[in-house]
A and B are shown apart, each in its own frame.
Chain A
């Protein structure tokens, strides 16, 4: 072996995945976050199979039952729906919209940012001004206007939240693409006559995967919050569909009556879900060692 004197790279005997997993595992919050996300998904999607409740028929005879009532551990709401069952149903809406919108936003943002960053020049300038303009129009305002035009369904919410949330990932991926395209391995490919498609598909995109995944996680957290805000303001999905934000709004009028089970379970589930996704995102950022949101 000719390079006898050369010191081998220290600490990197393990494979990249092992090392990445080790870094992820070292972040306790990320582990907690992952566990919580799994539990929440089971609660919302598997829970209704085990805890069967009627979430369609209004039952005014049994409305506003206190928590601990037989058959209703968390009571019932003003229309007589079982709150525990309703939390599961509302969670389905929140999680579905959050996950799909987050993924959609990351997908659009990645394509937009990678193209702008790789092509550069005037194309980049115009594409990024469009992003600037989009960022200047606050998502909350835009969503409220759209909700006032047409009452949104779940698929519409996914598309709309996806369409207003891709701007930040686009900026991050663009910055990354600009840095990667000047790396020597991309230059070496271009020098040997490799195509732009190959440069983007084989080098740029694979090397932005870390940023993409980390960002997608944060996007999911933000999308869930955004859904909650819109529903809280009464402009979200319409009954009998519901989500946690809408449940909380409906409960507010009973604040003074002390019906806390109409407010706190829904509110806490929002906090826990968003927090869990943020923890996971934070752990993934350590794992992929990417810059992104300030930590």
Chain B
């Protein structure tokens, strides 16, 4: 491949997309232009609704019939908007292919993964049927699926999310396309799996002349694998430049705000961490997790020897093992872990939604029970706990006004001084003000609010009874980063004002870092490490915490290079240890 590097594979010029629906016409992309050179990774970044996915579907010609596209898209000089459907079918999969966000649904559930890789080869008649199945296995092997020949005969549900995403990547790669569009390829994955997929994409980009259009909202992913960046906002490309330029010295106002809104993490002491790992430091595993600050006062929230069973498929399995943890008054404890680690289960147990199989949970020394019918004492305990959940779409009843939603706990408890309508209304106004929403929102319905506004209403409802403990279960995970910053600010200022204790559950170490005084790391149902935030995120001891920390992509390209380097060294150390174990 000795093509002159400056001739772009793909050029997009003055692209505009509008949607014509029954409810009116609205623009999705306005007059956007960019180009990608062979072997390069261009990241198209922006928040939801910015038009980045619409742009990618426009390139592939897969927009729905309601879309009107104008401008020019050319692939190696060929205009894609003028190519007919038949020509586009030849181009799709062969010259341009795509990796999608959601690996759980991107594959046909009733077709073997091998057959789904073969399909792209036979579609483009690159080889015979028999050859295609051989090449499909090769591709699966190349994207790092172990025992590829056997796995090719399995169905998608038999593979994990990360492996399914590898299959999708194999499909995209099979015909060695000139351009691969990766639309949020790691967003649905856990951070440690994300790191593996990013390694794979990075390797593929380096070893071929294929160009990548990477669509993402995650600046850490950008810092990890992108060469160039285009920032999109509300349908416009507001800035383009090299990755380092845009991330380190953004020019456009929006880019500056966006990058400023990203939660930050301290630079970890990678040299020490790697050195400790190389010494086979065993003290980490032996260390008993520090339970909590002991200041003589009863803890606001305490788990003691808590184990929780969960029913799945008619069978109970243990989701949480023997957790002991306390949260003091006026303290925010960050609980971090990946999906399935048991962190949300623990939160729900504290709320009395799931019973503890062993051990206890108590709030201000009163046990929390998960009874079907609550007695007066249970209700009194529950008045001390507030909760905010993850999904802004289901956190508020669509048929209740904002005021009704916020005052519901007051009605449940017939709270003192709050039995009058006027008193409740005053309390609602006060709380709306506290979460920085105008008081006329009280009469609105949830659908009239944006996701971030709904989460702030959720916060107001959570503290309406003045609880001593707040359980925040991934309150900002479904939000865009700039919105997330506002919701986190609101939560922080409420906590500073009302001094409640907070169990802040998140999968995002950077958010945890910004929010919490102490951190507990959860892995496979156990707390593996607890300590001051500043110490754990700078120098963790438990191997899992180290792995997790190394896997989080940092939006700072320099720090990200260090993490990548540390991850490589740690992997080598682990490999050596394994070899030693084998011997």
A and B form one complex? yes
Give the interface of A toward B (CB within 8 A): 2-3, 5-13, 15-16, 22, 26, 183-185, 187-196, 198, 202-203, 206-207
- A13-B394 Cα distance, complex, nearest whole Å: 19
Give the interface of B toward A (CB within 8 A): 21-24, 26, 47-49, 234, 254, 257-258, 348, 351-353, 373-374, 378-379, 382-383, 385-387, 389-391, 394-400, 405, 408-409, 412-413, 436, 445, 447-453, 458, 461-462, 465, 471, 480, 482-483, 486, 489
- One of B22, B396, B482 near A185 (C-beta < 8 A): B396
B394 and A3: CB pair below 8 A?
no
- A10-B50 Cα distance, complex, nearest whole Å: 12
The 9 A-B pairs with the shortest beta carbon distances in the complex, nearest first, are: A193-B382, A191-B351, A184-B389, A193-B379, A183-B394, A194-B412, A5-B482, A7-B49, A185-B397
Which residues of chain B have C-beta atoms less than 8 A from A184's C-beta? 389-391, 394-395
- A7-B47 Cα distance, complex, nearest whole Å: 9
Which residues of chain B have C-beta atoms less than 8 A from A202's C-beta? 397, 400, 408
A11 and B413: CB pair below 8 A?
no
A–B Cβ pairs within 8 angstroms, 23 of them:
A2-B489, A3-B452, A5-B482, A7-B47, A7-B234, A11-B24, A15-B445, A16-B445, A184-B390, A184-B395, A185-B394, A185-B395, A185-B397, A187-B389, A189-B412, A190-B352, A191-B351, A191-B353, A191-B385, A191-B387, A192-B385, A193-B379, A202-B400
A10 and B26: CB pair below 8 A?
yes
Whole-angstrom distance between the Cβ of B409 and the nearest chain A Cβ: 5
A3 and B453: CB pair below 8 A?
yes
Residue in chain A with minimal CB distance to B445: A16
- A187-B465 Cα distance, complex, nearest whole Å: 16
- A202-B451 Cα distance, complex, nearest whole Å: 23
Which residues of chain B have C-beta atoms less than 8 A from A190's C-beta? 352-353
Which residues of chain A have C-beta atoms less than 8 A from B258's C-beta? 5
- A256-B387 Cα distance, complex, nearest whole Å: 75
- A203-B412 Cα distance, complex, nearest whole Å: 14
A207 and B398: CB pair below 8 A?
yes
- A34-B374 Cα distance, complex, nearest whole Å: 47
B254 and A5: CB pair below 8 A?
yes
Whole-angstrom distance between the Cβ of B472 and the nearest chain A Cβ: 12
Whole-angstrom distance between the Cβ of B469 and the nearest chain A Cβ: 11
Whole-angstrom distance between the Cβ of A125 and the nearest chain B Cβ: 12
- A9-B480 Cα distance, complex, nearest whole Å: 13
Q: If the complex has contacts A191-B385, A194-B408, are A2 and B436 also in contact, measured as CB distance less than 8 A? A: yes
Whole-angstrom distance between the Cβ of A130 and the nearest chain B Cβ: 21
B461 and A188: CB pair below 8 A?
yes
Which residues of chain A have C-beta atoms less than 8 A from B447's C-beta? 9, 12, 16
Whole-angstrom distance between the Cβ of B487 and the nearest chain A Cβ: 9
- One of A3, A183, A189 near B450 (C-beta < 8 A): A3
- A72-B24 Cα distance, complex, nearest whole Å: 52
Which residues of chain B have C-beta atoms less than 8 A from A12's C-beta? 447-448
Other 6 A-B pairs with CB < 8 A, given A6-B486, A185-B395: A6-B452, A13-B448, A22-B23, A26-B22, A188-B458, A198-B412
Q: If the complex has contacts A6-B450, A185-B394, A207-B398, are A192 and B23 also in contact, measured as CB distance less than 8 A? A: no
Residue in chain A with minimal CB distance to B405: A185
Whole-angstrom distance between the Cβ of A203 and the nearest chain B Cβ: 5
Q: If the complex has contacts A187-B389, A191-B387, are A7 and B397 also in contact, measured as CB distance less than 8 A? A: no
- A78-B24 Cα distance, complex, nearest whole Å: 58
Which residues of chain A have C-beta atoms less than 8 A from B413's C-beta? 192-193
Q: If the complex has contacts A3-B450, A9-B450, A188-B387, are A207 and B352 also in contact, measured as CB distance less than 8 A? A: no
Which residues of chain B have C-beta atoms less than 8 A from A195's C-beta? 374, 412
B397 and A207: CB pair below 8 A?
yes
Which residues of chain B have C-beta atoms less than 8 A from A22's C-beta? 22-23
- A70-B400 Cα distance, complex, nearest whole Å: 61
Residue in chain B with minimal CB distance to A185: B397
Whole-angstrom distance between the Cβ of B441 and the nearest chain A Cβ: 11
- One of A6, A15, A192 near B465 (C-beta < 8 A): A192
Which residues of chain A have C-beta atoms less than 8 A from B373's C-beta? 196
Residue in chain B with minimal CB distance to A182: B394
Residue in chain B with minimal CB distance to A198: B412
- A287-B172 Cα distance, complex, nearest whole Å: 40
Which residues of chain B have C-beta atoms less than 8 A from A188's C-beta? 387, 389, 395, 458, 461-462
B412 and A193: CB pair below 8 A?
yes
- A13-B449 Cα distance, complex, nearest whole Å: 10
- A6-B46 Cα distance, complex, nearest whole Å: 12
- A22-B405 Cα distance, complex, nearest whole Å: 27
- A13-B395 Cα distance, complex, nearest whole Å: 20
- A13-B450 Cα distance, complex, nearest whole Å: 11
Q: If the complex has contacts A190-B353, A192-B382, are A3 and B412 also in contact, measured as CB distance less than 8 A? A: no
A9 and B412: CB pair below 8 A?
no
